[in-house]
Amino acid sequence: MSWMIRVVRCRLKGGLELLKHRRRQRAWKQCHWIFLATKRKLHCFLNNCRPIRTIARFLYNGVTNDVPLMLKRWCRVLCIGLMLLIGVQPAVAVEHSFVADAVKKVAPAVVRIDTERTVERQPFDPTLIDPLLRDLLGDQPVGQERERGQGSGVVIDPDGLVLTNAHVVDRVETVSVTLADGDQLDGRVVGTDPVTDLALVRLDTSALPPQAPLGDSEAMQVGDWAIALGTPYGLERTVTLGIVSSLHRNINSLGFSDKRLDLIQTDAAINPGNSGGPLVNGDGEVIGINTLVRSGPGAGLGFAIPINLARRVADQLLQDGEVVHPYIGLQLVGLTARIAREHNRDPNALVQLPERNGALVQSVLPDGPSDKAGLRRGDLVIAVDELPVEDPQALLEVIDAARVGSPLPLKLLRNGREISLSVKPAPLPGLA
């Protein structure tokens, strides 16, 4: 009887072991299905992320063979999950925080500038009043009003020098500067330059704010990040983000074609009140001073003065209180060999142009330096100071760097003959 009991017990035990084994197999299969589903979902991510793909390959190939297969698979899933939690989230956070890091470096040096000046206004426009009524009323007294202005600026010097736009502080009587921490200080205009639209203001205080780090505008490339800071419409500490849309945008200044502003174009929002504020790169360095914004159909076009040019102007304003800009009084257009050939093929062409690159003189300012030197309309400037001239910009760069009154040798073509002349740059008139 006892042997029968032992047989039954053995069979029951065997059946229980078989049942447990089948349950384990079923559980392992379910885990395997979960692993395959997770693997399919992460497959695309692993293929697109090189560091994680490299680690994953190590995990798939580096586990020793004496570890059970399902344990190896679970180790892989666990490690992939840890990589997703540890490796991916910080990468996304860094991508979204570089703007904040750049702003933190510059924002303490960005200031708001409020100005006041007295303007004279007549109560009525004399041209809109009937002559008989004007004779009856006589001359109306001229009234005075206080005009307020507002702009932005950035501290560029440990001595409390603020760089801003000339049109923000030009001909003003009082300047009030609000720092990033809210303190209001009096400012004194050191000098203005209407050609580059730059001005320098000194803070009257001993507790000076931090200065902004200045970058290199020549190192900028189209497509680099551009961050505009300022006080648009009186809204302090405003930050907008864009890119450098273009470099070396030439805009005529004061009507003289040989005086142009070389600007940075950006799509970062620049609104009234941003004038004088800094344009910052992704590293938190000032690369420009905001100055112009295009409204209307061309909305979204903003311009900034390169910081390298602003540095030179600020140094001259600090030293002399003004900036002397040399000019020679020429209106120039670019000429290439292709354009000249197309022009010369025209049977109605009055003159034949030399088929080579250069700066073609379109007009000469009467009594200007070039007029006195003997330059004429139609001359093609091909060299200046022994440097080849391929376009007007090459000539303008040499003129900007020249000294006022120092002879500047020019080589030009006139009626097919090569001529050498010398012109003395004069100070740009009409700035007072």
Please give the tally of structural domains in the chain.
3
pLDDT at 29 over 70: no
Q: Rounded CA gap, 373 and 357, in Å?
A: 23
Residues 333 and 296 in one domain: no
> Taking the alpha carbons of 255, 258, 259, 265 in that order, is the dihedral positive or negative?
positive
Residue 92: Cβ within 10 Å count: 9
Q: Which domain holds residue 383?
A: 326-427
Most confident of 17-21, 76-80, 397-401: 397-401
Query: Does residue 288 fall inside a structural domain?
Result: yes
Residues 270 and 348 in one domain: no
Query: Does residue 167 fall inside a structural domain?
Result: no
Strand ranges, E, within 81-214: 110-121, 143-155, 161-164, 174-178, 184-193, 198-203
Return the half-sphere exposure (C-beta side, CA atoms, 13 A cut-off) of residue 345. 6
Mean local confidence (pLDDT), 40-69: 51
Q: Is 325 a catalytic residue?
A: no
Do the beta carbons of residue 355 and residue 344 sit within 8 Å? Answer: yes
Catalytic residue (one of 267, 275, 325, 379) = 275
Q: Model-level pTM?
A: 0.68
Query: Does residue 151 fall inside a structural domain?
Result: no
Bridge partner list, 241: 227
pLDDT of amino acid 243: 94
Bridge partner list, 238: 230
pLDDT at 103 over 70: yes
Residues 276 and 239 in one domain: yes
Q: Rounded CA gap, 373 and 421, in Å?
A: 7
Residue type, 404: V
Residues 52 and 89 in one domain: yes
pLDDT at 72 over 80: no
Residue 393 corresponds to which tokens in the numbers above?
A: 């910009």
Catalytic residue (one of 114, 152, 193, 197) = 197
For residue 154, the Cα-to-chain-centroid distance in whole angstroms is: 15
pLDDT of amino acid 284: 94
Do the beta carbons of residue 360 and residue 341 sit within 8 Å? Answer: no
Show which of 27, 61, 96 is a domain's final residue. Answer: 96
Query: Does residue 57 fall inside a structural domain?
Result: yes
Q: CA dihedral in degrees (214, 219, 224, 229; nearest 10)?
A: 20
Residue 51 corresponds to which tokens in the numbers above?
A: 């560091």
Residue 106: Cβ within 10 Å count: 27
pLDDT at 224 over 70: yes
Residue 189 pLDDT grade (very low, low, confident, very high; cuts 50, 70, 90): very high
> At 269, which CATH number?
2.40.10.10
Show which of 72, 96, 120 is a domain's final residue. Answer: 96
Query: Does residue 121 fall inside a structural domain?
Result: no
Query: Does residue 175 fall inside a structural domain?
Result: no
pLDDT of amino acid 253: 47
Mean pLDDT of the chain: 78
Query: Does residue 233 fall inside a structural domain?
Result: yes
Residues 289 and 333 in one domain: no
Residues 18 and 86 in one domain: yes
Residue 391, classified by CB atoms within 10 Å of its CB into exposed (0-12), middle (13-18) or buried (19+), is middle
pLDDT of amino acid 215: 94
Q: Cβ contacts of residue 80 below 8 Å, gap of 6+? A: 38, 42, 46, 52, 56, 59
Tell me the pLDDT tens digit for each residue of 129-138: 566 656 655 6
Mean local confidence (pLDDT), 228-243: 91
pLDDT at 339 over 80: yes
Query: What is the pairing mode between strands 278-280 and 286-294?
Result: antiparallel
pLDDT at 73 over 70: no
pLDDT at 108 over 90: yes
Residues 342 and 278 in one domain: no
Residues 363 and 299 in one domain: no
Q: Is 197 a catalytic residue?
A: yes
Residues 292 and 246 in one domain: yes
Residue 94 pLDDT grade (very low, low, confident, very high; cuts 50, 70, 90): very low
Do the beta carbons of residue 234 and residue 281 sit within 8 Å? Answer: no
> At 367, which CATH number?
2.30.42.10
> Taking the alpha carbons of 160, 161, 164, 168 in that order, is the dihedral positive or negative?
positive
Instruction: Please give the residue that has the higher pLDDT: either 332 or 33.
Output: 332
Indicate the SS3 state at residue 420.
strand
Element (H, E) at 385: none
Residues 336 and 286 in one domain: no
Catalytic residue (one of 32, 157, 167, 371) = 167
Query: Does residue 72 fall inside a structural domain?
Result: yes
Residue 72 corresponds to which tokens in the numbers above?
A: 């190896």
Q: Is 275 a catalytic residue?
A: yes
Show which of 247, 273, 304 is a domain's final residue. Answer: 304
Residues 362 and 394 in one domain: yes
Residues 284 and 351 in one domain: no
Provide DSSP, 40-55.
HHHHHHHHH-HHHHHH
Residue 179 pLDDT grade (very low, low, confident, very high; cuts 50, 70, 90): very high
Tell me the pLDDT tens digit for each residue of 261-300: 789 999 998 888 888 999 999 999 999 999 876 555 556 6
